[in-house]
């Protein structure tokens, strides 16, 4: 049988019919809101390349975290911007460093009503802007960086974080962080591994958000956008090292990778709709060239359809409110 008996349009006739046969549904609980907090701010400060996103003060962060919980988001991912950066990124390890302080603030504000996560990486804290410490020849020193990540993980766990997100793409980082957490008595703190992270130009606005002074690029540790099999290898290594969840980043330009990772492993797969993905749509919408709200939900559905169990997005609160 074919046309005219078979008519796929029958299932698209009304909103009720389309709702009934929808294959992909988004829920606020699957959305994770990335948030920035800057040391020393008394008022939140807008980020020019990310309209609607701010660097929070400690106080505004608490308030915004409570609002995100109210909207029903599944998690919050915290990034800290210190006043002073140094070559070893010591502000990330210091219990009084801005990210660790912010974790304490947010956990005391929201308790366990949402999942509180922290970025586990040195780039926000280093004066050279790299995700690790540098060797004498200026290259990023993998194994010396692992020591710093281990200390950072324990500091974040001590501050009460529920999930750490190692995002520096150093070899062995998940295993080292797992061991450090377990030895320090934090066996319940989970790891969301940025298993697949491309050396992407879509991170541009994020570098403004965290005032990164990076010179050069991250291609000796982040992945070549041309590669897919390499991503599957990274994911398998991270799961073997103890990753509880894995992430693919960016999201929209890498939906084939999200899909392949979903098929390869059974742990939850997160996708990060990054700063540049957000900025592109906001900029076009500001010009009247795209319908922002529709594009927002379309991209989130696409990422979910590709196989993501959860999505980090700067639209998390906005989208969550539209999904109620």
Question: Which of the 8 DSSP states describes residue 285?
Answer: H
Torsion angle defined by CA atoms of residues 211, 288, 312 and 74, in that order, rounded to the nearest 10 degrees: 120
The SS3 of residue 126 is strand
How many Å from the N-terminal Cα to the C-terminal Cα in the chain? 40
Q: Which residue is nearest to ligand PBG (CB)?
A: 206
* Gap between the Cα atoms of 296 and 216, Å rounded: 32
DSSP for 39-59? TT-SS-EE-TTSTT-EEEPHH
- 234 touches ligand PBG by CB under 6 A: no
81 binds ligand PBG (CB under 6 A): no
Q: Exactly one of 231, 275, 299, 313 binds ligand PBG (CB under 6 A); which one?
A: 275
The residue range among 1-9, 52-60, 82-90, 117-125 that interacts with ligand PBG, by the rule CB under 6 A, is 117-125
- Strand, helix or coil at 268? coil
Considering only the stretches 55-63, 94-102, 119-127, 153-161, report the one whose residues sit in contact with ligand PBG under the rule CB under 6 A. Answer: 119-127
What residues from 123 to 182 belong to the interface with ligand PBG (CB under 6 A)?
A: 123, 131, 167
In the set 125, 149, 198, 203, which binds ligand PBG (CB under 6 A)?
203
| Closer by beta carbon to ligand PBG, 145 or else 275 | 275
197 flagged as catalytic: yes
Residue 206 is a binding residue for ligand PBG (CB under 6 A): yes
The verdict on whether 249 is a catalytic residue reads yes
- Residue 201 carries which DSSP code? G
Closest CA to 106 of 79, 88, 87: 79
Q: Give the binding range for ligand PBG (CB under 6 A) out of 12-20, 86-94, 116-124, 138-146.
A: 116-124
How many residues touch ligand PBG under the rule CB under 6 A: the total is: 10
- For residue 96, give the nearest of 111, 79, 82, 106 by alpha carbon: 82
Catalytic residues: 197, 249
Q: Which residues bind ligand PBG (CB under 6 A)?
A: 119, 121, 123, 131, 167, 203, 206, 218, 274-275
């Amino acid at each position: 049988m074919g046309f005219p008996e078979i008519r796929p349009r029958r299932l698209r006739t009304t909103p009720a019919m389309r709702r009934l046969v929808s294959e992909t549904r988004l829920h606020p609980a699957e959305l994770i809101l990335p948030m920035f907090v800057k040391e020393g701010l008394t008022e939140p400060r807008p980020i020019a390349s990310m309209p609607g996103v701010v660097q929070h003060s400690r106080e505004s962060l608490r308030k915004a975290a409570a609002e995100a919980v109210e909207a029903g988001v599944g998690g919050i991912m915290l990034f800290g911007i210190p006043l002073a950066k140094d070559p070893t990124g010591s502000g990330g390890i210091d219990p009084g460093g801005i990210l660790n302080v912010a974790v304490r603030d947010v956990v005391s504000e929201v308790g366990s009503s949402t999942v509180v996560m922290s970025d586990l990486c040195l780039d926000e804290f280093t004066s050279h802007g790299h995700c690790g410490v540098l060797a004498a020849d200026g290259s990023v020193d993998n194994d010396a960086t692992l020591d710093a990540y281990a200390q950072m993980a324990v500091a974040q766990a001590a501050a009460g974080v529920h999930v750490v997100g190692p995002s520096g793409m150093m070899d062995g980082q998940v295993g080292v962080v797992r061991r450090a957490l377990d030895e320090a008595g934090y066996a319940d703190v989970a790891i969301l591994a940025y298993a697949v992270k491309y050396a992407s130009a879509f991170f541009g606005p994020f570098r403004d958000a965290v005032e990164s002074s990076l010179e050069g690029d991250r291609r000796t540790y982040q992945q070549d956008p041309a590669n897919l099999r390499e991503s599957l290898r990274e994911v398998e290594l991270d799961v073997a090292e103890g990753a509880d969840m894995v992430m693919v980043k960016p999201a929209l330009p890498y939906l084939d990778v999200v899909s392949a990772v979903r098929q390869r492993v059974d742990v939850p797969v997160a996708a990060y709709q990054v700063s540049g993905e957000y900025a592109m749509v906001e900029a076009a919408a500001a010009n009247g060239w795209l319908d922002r709200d529709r594009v927002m939900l379309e991209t989130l559905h696409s990422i979910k359809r590709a196989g993501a169990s959860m999505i980090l997005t700067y639209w998390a609160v906005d989208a969550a409110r539209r999904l109620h």
